[in-house]
Amino acid sequence: MKKSILYSTALLAFLLGSCSSDDKKVDTVQATVERGAVLRTLSISGSALDVLDTSATTTIELEEQDHLDGELLSEVRVFVDLDDNTEDETTTTTEAFVKTIPSSDFSVGEFGLPRGTLSITLGEMASALGLDFGDYNCGDAFLLRLELELTDGRVFSSDDVTGTVQGGSFFSSPFQYRVNLIAPLPSADLYTGQYQLTSLAPGIFGVNDFVDAEYTLESTGNTIRVIKDAFTFAAFGPFGPVDIEFQFICGEIVMSAAQGMGAGCGGTIQSGPALVDNSTYDLANPDDTEFIINFTSDETDDCGTGGAQGSIRLTKI
């Protein structure tokens, strides 16, 4: 009981101390708890999962609060749906039930309130919706929704809470979560080392953006690589050296936007993603021996030519 009092006091002090407008927030939160209950989000891991790994897991730690300090908790039900972000949007789903977390799976936490953990795999979410790989893809997202049922039969979910309770810095009780599907590379060493750059299609003014030469590729993140110390526009210079960043995104190789080329016609010429047809790589078995980067030369049209679609090939040495 003392822990509950301390918890309530600390919560009230936190909300009152943030700013004067939080008086209304306190009233809203208190009224929400008195009328029903909330599921506070304590932590989340796995908000983005490897689309190829059905064992990849999302874990959410929850704390339930009602006006009887958790004694009204009966169970939490978990539902899932798919947000299909592919261009053709061919997969249509209806929200499906996944599992129940009974009150017996909760234990008393730091503040005397019940705490529990939701763990759910990509495979479980797909199975509940009757989906196989190909029905869901990199770039899509699974949408989790929770329902909290009390012992008196009342049920609360995402439609029953205000914005203050949903996304507040303390309560954070949205009852819903988005799990993005991504495609991390299997190794940080892939697409790194010494590469020979060969120009395949010229950029603006009909000349190559990059000097054909041997360059070092470095990793700055799981799916981010940098061509180090590249020289540019040999026809007019050359200029540089500059570092050029590109990314591996859901099967496509994409030059990052606003890559300064070390030269300009007024401002700095910047190259970036291809307007159409980024080159691709095999999600399941990426091969770094040779690959192509398509890009937009002078994407901001600094030189007034309208930009151009360039292309380079990188071959591992």
Task: Render each residue's pLDDT in the chain as its tens digit; 317 residues.
Answer: 444 444 443 333 333 344 444 444 444 444 444 567 999 999 999 989 999 999 999 999 999 999 999 999 999 999 999 999 887 767 889 999 999 999 999 999 889 999 999 999 999 999 999 999 989 999 999 999 999 999 999 999 988 865 434 433 334 578 999 999 999 999 999 999 999 999 999 999 999 999 999 999 999 999 999 999 999 999 999 999 999 999 999 999 999 999 999 999 988 899 999 988 999 999 889 999 999 999 999 998 999 999 999 999 999 99
C-alpha of 257 from chain center: 18
**Beta strand 224-232 with 48-50: parallel, antiparallel or unpaired?**
unpaired
3-class secondary-structure state, position 274: coil
Q: What separation in angstroms does the CA of 309 have from each of 196, 200, 261?
A: 20, 11, 15
Whole-model pTM over 0.85: no
Helix axes 22-35, 2-18, angle to 10 degrees: 150
C-alpha of 7 from chain center: 33
Taken in order of first residue, the domains within the chain and their CATH numbers are 37-182 (2.60.40.1940), 193-316 (2.40.128)
Q: Which of 314, 313, 312, 296 is nearest to 204 (CA)?
A: 296
- Our CA angle for 55, 56, 57, nearest 5°, is 105
Q: What percent helix, strand, coil does the chain show, rounded to 5?
A: 15, 45, 40
pLDDT at residue 257, as a whole number: 93
